[in-house]
Chains A and B, each alone.
Chain A
Amino acid sequence: MEDRRKFSREQALIEAERCLYCYDAPCEKACPAHVPVPEFIQSVRTGNLKGARNIIREANPFIEICGVICPEFCSEQCIRGKIDTPINVRQLHKFVTDNTDPEENLEPAERTGQKVAIVGGGPAGLSCARELSRLGYKPVILEKDVVGGIPAQEIARTRLDEEIAGKETGFIVKHFVEEVKRAEVEFVGDLLKEYGAVFISTGLEKEQEPDIPGTDLEGVFFAREILKNVRKGQKSPAGRRVGVIGGGNVALETAAVLKAEDPGRDVEVIYRRGLKELKAFREEIEEAVERGVTFQFMAIPREIRGDAKVEGIMVTRARLSEPDESGRRRPEPVENSDFFIPLDTIIIAIGQKAGEKFPEIEKTAAGLIKVNDKLETNIPGVFAGGDMVNGACTVVESVRDGKKAAASIAEYLERGKA
């Protein structure tokens, strides 16, 4: 299948030329990592891709990964959109990464400052490490699993070259991390004895389950398990008739991956809202459709049915209400519109939630860590960011948190010295 996520050189140049090169650019302000979008695009325009790469990488260490999975906060604010259509910034970003060397030699920063513990080596943790290292501190990553987090482990091979994603993580670790320790941290208290400060960025631990009967039946899986599986090159446990519950990138990607694995199997995405409300990238949707994934829109799951094994799902038709304050239109059930979809496998892709770790740290009602605007928790010297603070968020928002936490930590440590 042709790669619709790749710009040709000509497409990239024409797109770059459309960019107005705004001053005080709203795209840059909207980007959580504050990538100087107009400046990197200007470098694309002049064929200076290496310069463009450096501009992006300076602001966002996950340049390979974000080129693929960033939801484009920037493009939403693009001024060009007021004239015709917004600039496809992510695609240009991807054009830069596709056409430049992922790894370069770099002098490691001189680290003379204190050690800082970073619990969880995902995008927030690694971004924090990079910033701290550049400020002269010694970041130590404590990670129970694989460094790199969700993007390194779960994004389908079809979207993101595993090797490149791995290299990107490896590059950050090599140049900016003092040490990676294999450790599962449950309490942060002791860490403060050994480290000057702590940054918690473990991400969400638990899968969100739909609040309906039947999720314990054989044949019900979480999308992330399937993606991890497939990513490792193993065969997925899905059967012949698969329903995927959800409407985000993970749902669509899982559907597409399952269809690609076995084009003969039926894969249907079951979503409470309509096509327009899908929260996945256009390319993601197109790919799923092209692979033969079908959709059941306006369908609210009611009950997964079966004896020991899944036999199908009862759903209720929905209609969309007027948009609420968040601008989202809520699905409301239509009376007497229940119907049954026979299935042998159900995949759940509706997100994650927080676990029970770090009992000494103050949490919100939703179980997320509470922080102030410097990302500091109720325990002085302990900071937190990423999904553990925001709920499920994006890589680039985690980058923002990592950078912000690093600045706050440096400030905290400086204060300690004085």
Chain B
Amino acid sequence: MYRERDISIDFLGIRLDSPFILSAAPSTDELELAYDGLKEGWAGVILKTTSVEENPVPLKYPMMSSFGPQSRKVTGLGNIDLISQYHIDVIEKRVKALKESFPHKMIGASIMGAKKEDWQSLVHRLKKAGVDIIECSFSCPQGSMGEAPGRMLAQSVEATEKVAGWVKEAAGDTPVLIKITPQVTDIVEVARAVKRGGADGITASNTIPSLLGLDIYTFEPYPSLFGKGGYSGLSGSAIKPITLRTIAEIARNVDIVISGNGGAFNWKDAVEFMAVGAGNVQFCTLPMHYGFRTIRDLKSGLAGYLDAMGFKSPADIVKKALKNIYSHEEIPAPKTRAQLIEEKCVGCGLCYVACRDGGHRAIEWRSGNVPGQDDSRKPAFDEEKCPGCAMCMQVCPVDAIRMKEQMDGRCQYYEEVR
């Protein structure tokens, strides 16, 4: 065996051998699954959300739907799952068993309760079982218990603070994460409430309420259960931009530890999550789609990135991008123009139509359709008309366009590296 590069990280006092953990979801809803995931190399698990024994969990199947083009049908995944059908009695045993088999991995559990006694008894029982971390689901789109059933707990600032307080009171020095939803008016308010409640960190965020799609011939929503369906929780790549913003917004305003979750599909996404403030990254749709084996690329991808960047530890990435995120008023206004990287262009003309019908008509198409005209099939940018909106750059299939930005006598080029 070759020695692997150290990509370990400290998360709320727990050592993780990589920043990557399995989030509360079907992949952690059986002892065997959690076991296999850890064995495959994931740094930790958060067992799927459990509840007290009295709480009925009426699951309905099919529970998944997705959308995306043929080759990436699962760009966004929707589910109408609920929390685990297993109650705390089962979860206690699993925590013990996993802790025994994997003393050096992070064994976490997620909980949801209807009233103070539920939350606190769940916490007490998990603590006794030896759990490393407790996550509280304040944001299951399919339904929650407590003060306003059906409404996500984290949509109420007061409830968030109050329940976080109950949980932390019971948890003592066991770290507590509150899993919130981005579906709120002001995410910063919620994050502050979590902090006031005394929780140690925030899991930002969760699936997002959505309507996955319809059969346009029967008008049944997806997934359809005997013709009826409803709103689903959306996860996967589709929600990554929302999660990024959520993490960034919390990290810029509240001094609290963040576990990034929602739309990370590879190590690059994870780096982005960390760069805007996540201390670690949770994954659900990726392992559900392609399996636990995906951890290998996550780890080696991150390791390679750290080496390439000269970073010692993944911790070095955390919050790196925050200094560059500003409000619109604060963003500078350079003079911007599109510029062609001649040798990359394959002549598809997509930039031309996008600019022509997309707002600015700043590209001339050198088609040779008119006799005597240049037939290079390359775009020619009109410096006068181009305000540098970058639409052309977005549609170019071979990234042959960059933006030239000039300000204060300086000039720089902006290309998106994907």
CB of B377 within 8 A of CB of A83, answer: no
* Contact partners of B352 in chain A: CB under 8 A: 23-24
A residues within 8 A CB of B350? 20-23
Contact of B397 among A14, A17, A83 (CB under 8 A): A83
A26 within 8 A of B: yes
Could you mark each residue 86-112 of chain B with 1 if its beta carbon is under 8 Å from any beta carbon of chain A, else 0? Answer: 000000000000000000000000000
Residue of B nearest to A25 (CB): B349
Q: How far is the CA of A235 from the CA of B305 in the complex (A)?
A: 69
- Let me know if B70 and A24 touch, CB within 8 A: no
A356 within 8 Å of B (CB atoms): no
Task: State A78–B102 Cα separation when bound (angstroms).
Answer: 55
Binary contact track B302-333/A, C-beta < 8 Å → 1, others 0: 00000000000000000000000000000000
Docked-complex contact A23 and B353, CB < 8 angstroms: yes
Residue A82, interface by CB 8 Å: yes
Q: Which residues of B contact A26 (CB under 8 A)?
A: 347, 377
| Residue B119 interfacial (CB < 8 Å) | no
Closest chain-A Cβ to B133's Cβ sits at a distance in Å of: 42
Indicate whether B365 reaches chain A with its CB closer than 8 angstroms: yes
CA distance A96 to B398 in the complex (A): 29
Chain B residues whose C-beta falls within 8 Å of the C-beta of A14 in the assembled complex: 70-71
A79 to B398: give the CA distance in the assembly, Å: 11
Closest beta carbon of chain A to B342's beta carbon, Å: 14
Cβ of B346 within 8 Å of any chain A Cβ, yes or no, is yes
Report how far A97 CA is from B271 CA in the complex, Å. 47
Contact of A22 among B71, B348, B398 (CB under 8 A): B348
Q: Does B69 contact A (CB under 8 A)?
A: yes
The residue that B348 contacts in the complex, of A10, A17, A20, with Cβ under 8 A, is A20
- Inter-chain CA distance A25–B346, complex, in Å, is 12
**CB of A13 within 8 A of chain B?**
yes
The answer on a CB contact under 8 Å between A17 and B346 is no
Q: Counting CB contacts under 8 A, is B367 at the interface?
A: yes
Q: Are B70 and A79 in contact (CB under 8 A)?
A: no
Residues on B with C-beta less than 8 A from A24 are: 349, 352, 365, 367, 369, 377
Per-residue contact bits, chain B 338-351, to A (CB 8 Å; 1 contact, 0 not): 00000000111110
Task: Select from chain B the residue with minimum beta-carbon distance to A11.
Answer: B70
In contact, B70 and A22 (Cβ under 8 angstroms)? no
Given A10-B70, A17-B69, A20-B397 in contact, is the A82-B346 Cβ separation under 8 Å?
A: yes
User: By CB atoms of chain A within 10 A, which of B71, B348, B377 has the most?
Assistant: B348
Once the chains are docked, how many angstroms separate the CA of A110 from the CA of B352?
40
B-contact bits for A1-29, CB 8 A (1 contact / 0 none): 00000000010011001001111111000
The residues of A that contact B349 with a CB separation of less than 8 Å are: 22-25
Docked pose: A144 CA to B377 CA in angstroms: 47
Q: Which residues of A contact B348 (CB under 8 A)?
A: 20, 22-23, 79
**Could you tell me the distance between the alpha carbons of A22 and B353 in the complex, rounded to whole angstroms?**
9
Interface residues of B in 237-278 (CB under 8 A from A): none
Q: Cα distance A25–B377 when bound, in Å?
A: 10
Chain B nearest Cβ from A89, distance in angstroms: 15
Query: Chain B contacts of A10 at CB under 8 A?
Result: 70
- The answer to whether B365 touches A83 (Cβ under 8 A) is no
Query: Contact: B353 with A17, CB < 8 Å?
Result: no
Q: How far is the CB of A244 from chain B (nearest CB, A)?
A: 40
| CB under 8 Å from chain B, chain A span 21-39 | 21-26
CB distance from A79 to the nearest CB of B (A): 5
Do residues B347 and A17 form an inter-chain contact, with CB atoms below 8 A? no
A29 → B minimal CB distance (Å): 9
Residues of chain B within 8 A of A25, CB atoms compared: 349
| Complex-state Cα separation, A26 to B347, whole angstroms | 9
A250, B353: Cα distance in complex, Å: 42
Chain A, residues 173-207, CB within 8 Å of chain B (1/0): the string is 00000000000000000000000000000000000
Identify which of A13, A20, A23, A79 gathers the most chain B CB atoms within 10 Å of its CB.
A23
Instruction: Tell me whether B69 and A79 are in contact (CB under 8 A).
Output: no
* Contact A13 B70, beta carbon cutoff 8 Å: yes
Which residues in A have some Cβ–Cβ distance to B below 8 Å?
10, 13-14, 17, 20-26, 79, 82-83
A-B contact pairs, 18 of them (CB 8 A): A10-B70, A14-B70, A17-B71, A20-B350, A20-B397, A21-B350, A23-B348, A23-B353, A24-B352, A24-B365, A24-B367, A25-B349, A26-B347, A79-B346, A79-B347, A79-B348, A82-B347, A83-B398
Shortest 9 CB-CB contacts between residues of A and residues of B: A23-B349, A13-B70, A82-B346, A23-B353, A22-B348, A20-B348, A79-B348, A24-B367, A24-B349
* 16 other A-B residue contacts (CB within 8 Å) besides A20-B350, A23-B352, A26-B377: A17-B69, A17-B70, A17-B71, A20-B348, A20-B397, A21-B350, A22-B350, A23-B350, A24-B352, A24-B365, A24-B369, A24-B377, A25-B349, A26-B347, A79-B347, A82-B346
